[in-house]
Amino acid sequence: MYTYSPEAQSYYGLHQKKHGRQVKEEKDEVCIFEEVTVLNPGQSVIQYLDGDLCYTVQCLQEKDENTGYNAMYFTIVNCSQQCEAQQIYIPPSSHHTCCGTCQKVSCSFHTENGTLIVYEEGSSWSSNCTNYKCAKTPAGAIIVGSSVSCPPFNDTECTKNGGVVQMYNDGCCKTCSGLGLLPFAISPVVPTNSINCEPGKKEERICQKMTIRTNIRKNGCISQSPVSIKG
């Protein structure tokens, strides 16, 4: 007696016709699969059909009245259908394993407000002062995270020198900005009796104040953008 799962009935109907019915006689308590493979009750054999499909033949305890041997039960499994979205099917490396594995090819990330975002392998992003990357590994894509690195900062030292505390790097790090950071005093330009400045002709003098733009550094702080210095 051949017993089939619903998926296997149409395929193995042809299998029985091909091998025909054997004469009823007393046989050993074993299963004979495709006339060459002998299985004891409870044993099974695994083979493949069309890549992702595999079928399993299991030897049952009861007899098959048509062959005299023990009956067999056939099942077909579509291994690729077991994979979820954002996964691909990887066939097994061993012929003794029915199905392979499902491997992730992208990373699913939930933001602070609960929004789900899918990132492809190799993508990078930042959230809540943490840098993330969707990394490719032999086991599939995984999320790797690292905290944002900020230089040391002293709020008191910044404000004490007349600076202003500002945030950067998406609000994760602090910097100090403002003219209070200048490590030197700035004096106004006073006209002198030089060849470039003619005394007595204020409206015609060619001496002019100049504006210099530069980044200011002090006590480990650096201005986030160039500061205008008038002299």
Query: Which pLDDT score, from 0 to 100, does residue 224 have?
Result: 66
Element (H, E) at 18: helix 9-19
Query: Which pLDDT score, from 0 to 100, does residue 207 have?
Result: 55
Query: Which pLDDT score, from 0 to 100, does residue 73 have?
Result: 92
Q: Can you give the pLDDT of all 231 residues of the chain as single tens digits?
A: 455 555 555 444 445 444 444 444 567 899 998 888 899 999 988 876 667 788 888 999 999 988 889 999 998 888 888 888 889 988 888 777 888 889 999 999 998 888 999 999 999 998 889 999 999 999 899 999 999 888 998 888 888 888 889 898 888 899 888 744 444 444 444 444 544 545 554 444 455 566 665 667 666 666 666 666 665
Query: Which pLDDT score, from 0 to 100, does residue 184 have?
Result: 44
Q: Is 105 left (phi over 0), alpha (psi -120 to 50) or beta?
A: alpha
Q: Global pTM? A: 0.48
Distance, CA of 2 to CA of 21 (rounded, Å): 11
Distance, CA of 203 to CA of 89 (rounded, Å): 83
Half-sphere exposure of residue 91: CA atoms within 13 angstroms, side-chain side = 12
Give the CA distances from residue 109 to residues 38, 103, 116, 121, 128, in Å, rounded to whole numbers and listed in that order: 51, 17, 6, 13, 13
Query: Which pLDDT score, from 0 to 100, does residue 82 have?
Result: 81
Measured in whole angstroms, the distance separating CA 3 from the mean position of its chain's CA atoms is 44
Torsion of CA 46, 47, 49, 50, to 10 degrees: 110
Query: Which pLDDT score, from 0 to 100, does residue 5 have?
Result: 58
Query: Which pLDDT score, from 0 to 100, does residue 30 have?
Result: 92
- 3-state SS, residue 56: strand
Query: Which pLDDT score, from 0 to 100, does residue 158 have?
Result: 85
* Cβ contact 106:93 at 8 Å: no
User: Which structure tokens are listed for 221?
Assistant: 């702080």
- 3-state SS, residue 93: coil
Query: Which pLDDT score, from 0 to 100, does residue 160 have?
Result: 84
